[in-house]
Amino acid sequence: MAKKWGQYVRKWMTQKMDLPQDVMMDLPRITMIGQVHIYIENHRGLLAFSDGEVRLMIKGGQLLVKGKAFVIKTILPEEILLEGKIDQVIYIND
């Protein structure tokens, strides 16, 4: 019950205060430039990295990025900039 109430309050605050939903709902923000760059904000940690796959922890599950020739250009506690050929971005629910 408390969890549903908290979600209701966050949604109401987002609408009334005109705040971005990704900030209030603790969702990842994903910005892609073609198939070569992906910038992910508001993740909760890097789980796995290879030249063909990146797996990040996000609220409610994981984010899987598949492709080729991946290079991490920037990594911060809640942000990552990845370059390479991006083929798929997949949400995995827990």
Asked, for residue 88, whether it belongs to a domain, the answer is yes
Distances (CA, A) of 41 to 1, 16, 35, 76: 29, 24, 18, 9
**pLDDT per residue as tens digits for the range 57-92:** 998 899 999 999 999 999 999 999 999 999 999 999
On whether the CB atoms of residues 68 and 45 are closer than 8 A, the answer is: no
pLDDT of residue 13 exceeding 70, the answer is no
User: What is the domain range of residue 69?
Assistant: 26-93
Residue 10 pLDDT class (50, 70, 90 cuts): low
Asked, for residue 69, whether it belongs to a domain, the answer is yes
The CATH code of the domain that includes 80 is 2.60.40.2000
Alpha helices for 1-94 (secondary structure H): 2-17, 21-24
Asked, for residue 14, whether it belongs to a domain, the answer is no
Per-residue model confidence (pLDDT) at position 27: 83
pLDDT of residue 3 exceeding 70, the answer is no
Mean pLDDT, to the nearest integer, of 11-17?
Answer: 67
Round to whole Å and give the CA distance between 38 and 51: 14
